[in-house]
Structure 1
Amino acid sequence: MSEERRVHLSRSARPAYQALAEFSKSVGAVADAAGIEPRLKELVQIHASQLNGCSYCVRVHVERAVAAGVSADVIAQLPVWRDSGVFSDRERASFELAEAHVFIHEDGVPDDVYNHVGGILSEQEYVALSWILVSINAFNRVAIAGRYAVPPRDDLADEDSDAAAGKAW
C-alpha cells in the first residue's frame, strides 16, 4: 500500500497558519479574562475534536489537559458526559455548547441550548467558550483536511512544533 501524500496546510501557507495561531492566542486571552480555567478549556476542545473526528487535535488537547491536571478517568468520561457524574453543571453546559458549535450547520445554536447554557454560564463565559469552539473547529478542519498523522506520544513535537509547544493557545 502506498503512502498518501497530502499538502500540509500549516507548513505550506505558513502566514495563514500563523494568523490562525495568533487568533487562537487572542481567544485564549478572552478565555482567561472570562475566568475559563485550563481544565474546562481543554475538555471542551477534546470533546469538539472527538465529535469532529480530529484525532490529531484530540492528541494535542489530551496532552494539555493532562498537563493541566485532568485525570485519565475524567478524559475517558467525555464521550458519555451526559451519564457521567464527574462533570459540573458548568462543564455539562459547556459540552452542550460544544456540540451545538460542531453541528452548527444543522440548526445554528438552537434556542433551547442557548437558553439552557445561558442560564448556567455568564455572558462572558458563553462568549469565551464560543470563541474557543470557533477556534478549535478551525484547527480541526486544517488537521482533518491534511489528514495529519497522530505520531507516537514522544514524537508529537516533531509533527507540529506550534501545537506541541502550546503556542497556538
Structure 2
Amino acid sequence: MTARVWIDKQSPEVFSAMTRVVTVVREQAARAGLDRALLELVNVRVSQINGCATCLDQHWRQAVAAGLTPQRLAVLPAWRDVDLFDGRERAALELAEAVTRTADGHLDDDAYTRARADLTDDETSMLVWAAITINSFNRISILSGHPIRERDADGRVVPREKVTR
C-alpha cells in the first residue's frame, strides 16, 4: 500500500474537534435514553458497509464490551433476516444504513415511519448523528490508510514477529 498522509495526525486540531463531536453525541445519546450497546451496533454496521477495517476492529471490541454477543455481531449484515434484533435496534440500523447509503437513494417515507415507530424524536436525532460521526471516522481511517494490528483471543496485540500465516 502506498504511504498515505494520516490526516488525523497531520491536522490534530481538526481531529480533536471531531473527537469532541463524538463525545457530545455519546453524552446526548445517553440523555436521550440510548445505551452504548445500541450506539456500537450502529458503529459496527456502518463500518461494515463502508469497509473500514480500523473502525470495525475498534468498534467490534467496544460492542462486545458493551454487551453485544459475537453471534449478533456475526449476523449483523443480515439483520433483516434474523430475529435477533429488537424493534429499537432495527430502527437504529434502518436509520444508520440510510445515512450511510445516500448514493442508493434516500430514506423513503415507509422506512422512516418504520424506524420512528420505536424511537422518540431525541433518539432519532441522536442515532442519525451517531451514524454521521462514524461515517466521518470511517472516511478518516480509510483515506489515511490506517492499519490494524492482529490481536489474540484476549484482545492483546500480537507482536509482529509472532504473527504466523
TM value normalised by structure 1: 0.86
Runs (4+) off by over 4 Å: none
The number of aligned residues is 154
- Separation in 1 of the partners of 2:61 and 2:7? 22
- Separation in 1 of the partners of 2:67 and 2:117? 28
Deviation of the 1:155 alpha carbon = 3.4
Deviation of the 1:109 alpha carbon = 2.6
**RMSD across aligned positions (CA):** 1.4
- Separation in 2 of the partners of 1:69 and 1:36? 14
**Structural mapping, 1:85-164, within 5 Å:** 85-153=83-151, 154-155=156-157
Measured against aligned partners, the alpha-carbon deviations of 1:105-159 in whole angstroms (never above 9, x if no partner) come to 3433322222211122111110110110110010011011112112112339xxx
Equivalent residue for 1:164? none
**Structural mapping, 1:3-152, within 5 Å:** 3-152=1-150
Deviation of the 1:61 alpha carbon = 0.5
- Separation in 2 of the partners of 1:104 and 1:127? 17
TM value normalised by structure 2: 0.88
Equivalent residue for 1:162? none
- Separation in 1 of the partners of 2:11 and 2:109? 38
- Letter of the 2:89 counterpart: E
Larger radius of gyration: 2
Identical amino acids, percent of aligned pairs: 34
Deviation of the 1:89 alpha carbon = 1.2
